[in-house]
A and B are shown apart, each in its own frame.
Chain A
Amino acid sequence: MKKRGLADFFFLLLVGYLLLPVLATMLYAFATKWNKSILPEGLTLKWLATLFRDTDFIQAFGRSVLLAGGAVSIALLVIVPAIFVIVLYFPKYEKWIQMAVVMVYSFPGIILAVGLIRVYSKIGIPMIFVVLGAYVVGILPYIYQGTRNSLRNIDARQLLDAAQLLGASKRQAFTKILLPTVYPGLFAGALLSFSVLFGEFVLINLVVGSRFETVQIYLMKKLSTSGHIASAVVFIYLVLMGLLTFVIAIVTKRSKGATNL
């Protein structure tokens, strides 16, 4: 009984340690004034309203969605078919994808940024497209894992064979059988990638900076002018991430007969 009480205490301590800064930041987004008291002196929606009236924020939000969404879309169109083909027909080449996945993790953002600037700044390609390309590669681990785990749960090659023997073309077998079967894993991988890219700051700030202001750069700018507005940005970001996590959970749970991530 005593041991159980001690375990509960440390668990609550950990939860408090993790949640307190988040809750405090979120509360600060609604505080009228919070300088000399333990709790805010009052609550207001003023900071959120100010934020949504700020066209700079709306545009920054739009740019972040566009950039993250664009990178995820390109990855789905380019990487996913490549993973399917390699896993199903050329499994001996899969080790190269796995190596690329590890390399993505092993490159620190600062080195990547310097490398991209040195290689591409004089070529004439707009640097935002360079960042977009780097993002597509950067989310390879999430897209690869999502797709691969889904494929691992099924014998994809045999499903394609079975569909073809029942009169389906290769395209029909892919779209009617394989894609719906791996869809939950794929969708979860895409949402995860989107949330990672939406919060990315190092690369976009170093390579493009304020020429393409995303939510993270806007947040950085607001940190020095208004703590309340910055907290409101963080609040919106957290709500968005919470929604994405919720959708991932729902999709993977409601996937009927299909395989999960």
Chain B
Amino acid sequence: MSYLIIEGLHKKYGQVSVLTNIHMEIQKGEFITLLGPSGCGKSTILRIVAGLTDASAGKISIEGKDMNGVQPKDRQVGMVFQSYALFPNMTVHENVAFGLRMQKVNKTDMEQRVHEMLALVHLSEKANAYPKELSGGQQQRVALARALIVRPKVLLLDEPLSALDAQIRKKLQADLRSIQRKLNMTMILVTHDQEEAMAVSDRIFVMNNGSIAQTGTPTEIYTRPNNEFIANFIGHYNVFPRQSLEKMLGKSLIGQSTKFAIRPEALHLDQRDGDLCLSGIAKQSLMSGNIIRTTFEGEMTFTMEQLHQQGYSIEMGKSYKCYVAQEDVIALS
């Protein structure tokens, strides 16, 4: 039996429906990510799981126990907020110890656990600092320690890294994953950053307009998007209508799909056996570190991504033939 089960969850604000028929089954120790654009309802799911918002319909159970009517303080669900929500009147030590104080843990145990937790997030030397004296990354680590110390059954992470700069965000992503594995804790992360979702998750639930659009491992989601929304949201996929693609390739495609997607990195300039060919004039080239993204215009516009290697160059305004393996042309539903 799954550790956390969400069944038939609906949420309406007045006449506006923000969640429609959400089903999720999560195993103990899994790192799950709810990925989707802003306003798709992912944070609302977290708030409902935490008991901070009531569902209009549906059922949530954790470890087989129905959570309907259970107060947030009794759910044993932790949460880390985007804005950290550290208590400004308390030091780092007091913030981390707060949950244990509420549980009336004896002072010796409390001190030991706070000490261990601060060491885990590398903040022992900041124990007596106030939140406003810490950097954003440090504050987020305090928030994580404060949520972890009460040993919640499920830890909810509501865009906890989105306010941080790229370098610190990457470091904290790695820390988060390592702590989650170490504690074997069930975590649900909400993010709109597909790279972050890919980097940390065991499974991803991609959401769109209040419902789940696709579920799978990061590899499954990335390599097999099942519709145009996922293809566009998850990467820089080239999405083509069937007729236009068939015309450009000069051959019929199998199946009934009306749209097809091709990953930009699946395109290459050297022809291999059985490859399909797309031709176009190079119009624009953008370099983002190790990747060069070139846009071609022909019968249709498409993008190719290649590793930035020495001696590699595409002349703008010149016509090119780009090749793709047949199995990399993905039929969308």
Q: Which residues in A have some Cβ–Cβ distance to B below 8 Å?
A: 154-155, 158-159, 161-169, 172, 177, 180-181, 183, 256-259
Given contacts A166-B146, A167-B150, contact A257 B85 (CB under 8 A): no
- Asked if A155 and B99 sit within 8 Å, CB to CB, the answer is no
Interface residues in B41-75 by Cβ distance below 8 A to A read 50, 52, 71-73, 75
Question: Closest CB-CB distance, A164 to chain B, in whole Å?
Answer: 4
Q: Which residues in B have some Cβ–Cβ distance to A below 8 Å?
A: 50, 52, 71-73, 75, 77-79, 81, 83, 85, 87-91, 98-99, 102-103, 130-132, 146-147, 150
- Chain B residues near A169 (CB-CB < 8 A): 73
- Chain B residues near A162 (CB-CB < 8 A): 79, 81, 85, 87, 146
Partner of A177, one of B52, B89, B150: B89
- Asked if A159 and B87 sit within 8 Å, CB to CB, the answer is yes
- Asked if A161 and B52 sit within 8 Å, CB to CB, the answer is yes
Instruction: Name 5 A/B residue pairs within 8 A (Cβ), A-sorted.
Output: A168-B98, A177-B87, A181-B88, A257-B131, A258-B89
Instruction: Report Cα–Cα, A78/B75, bound state, in Å.
Output: 33
Question: Closest CB-CB distance, B69 to chain A, in whole Å?
Answer: 15
| Interface pairs A-B: 9 shortest CB-CB | A167-B102, A257-B130, A166-B99, A162-B85, A180-B89, A257-B88, A158-B85, A164-B72, A258-B89
Question: Closest CB-CB distance, B103 to chain A, in whole Å?
Answer: 6
- Chain A residues near B85 (CB-CB < 8 A): 155, 158-159, 161-162
Question: Closest CB-CB distance, B205 to chain A, in whole Å?
Answer: 22
Question: Closest CB-CB distance, A3 to chain B, in whole Å?
Answer: 40
Given contacts A158-B85, A161-B52, A166-B102, contact A257 B73 (CB under 8 A): no
Inter-chain pairs besides A155-B83, A165-B72, A256-B89, 18 sampled, C-beta below 8 Å: A159-B87, A161-B50, A161-B72, A162-B81, A163-B87, A164-B52, A164-B73, A165-B75, A165-B147, A166-B102, A166-B147, A168-B73, A168-B98, A177-B87, A180-B89, A181-B89, A257-B130, A257-B131
Question: Closest CB-CB distance, A186 to chain B, in whole Å?
Answer: 13
Question: Closest CB-CB distance, B71 to chain A, in whole Å?
Answer: 8
Question: Closest CB-CB distance, A184 to chain B, in whole Å?
Answer: 10
Number of A-B contacts (CB under 8 A): 72
Chain A residue with the shortest CB-CB distance to B72: A164
Question: Closest CB-CB distance, B191 to chain A, in whole Å?
Answer: 18
- Asked if B89 and A165 sit within 8 Å, CB to CB, the answer is no
Question: Closest CB-CB distance, A257 to chain B, in whole Å?
Answer: 4
Given contacts A164-B72, A168-B102, contact A257 B83 (CB under 8 A): no
Partner of B88, one of A163, A165, A166, A258: A258
Chain A residue with the shortest CB-CB distance to B98: A166
- Asked if B88 and A154 sit within 8 Å, CB to CB, the answer is yes
- Asked if A259 and B88 sit within 8 Å, CB to CB, the answer is yes
Chain B residue with the shortest CB-CB distance to A173: B73
Question: Closest CB-CB distance, A188 to chain B, in whole Å?
Answer: 16
- Chain B residues near A164 (CB-CB < 8 A): 52, 71-73
Question: Closest CB-CB distance, A153 to chain B, in whole Å?
Answer: 8
- Chain B residues near A177 (CB-CB < 8 A): 87, 89
Question: Closest CB-CB distance, A255 to chain B, in whole Å?
Answer: 8
Question: Closest CB-CB distance, A253 to chain B, in whole Å?
Answer: 14
- Asked if B150 and A166 sit within 8 Å, CB to CB, the answer is yes
Instruction: Report Cα–Cα, A256/B77, bound state, in Å.
Output: 30
Question: Closest CB-CB distance, A134 to chain B, in whole Å?
Answer: 34
Chain B residue with the shortest CB-CB distance to A155: B83
Instruction: Report Cα–Cα, A166/B103, bound state, in Å.
Output: 9
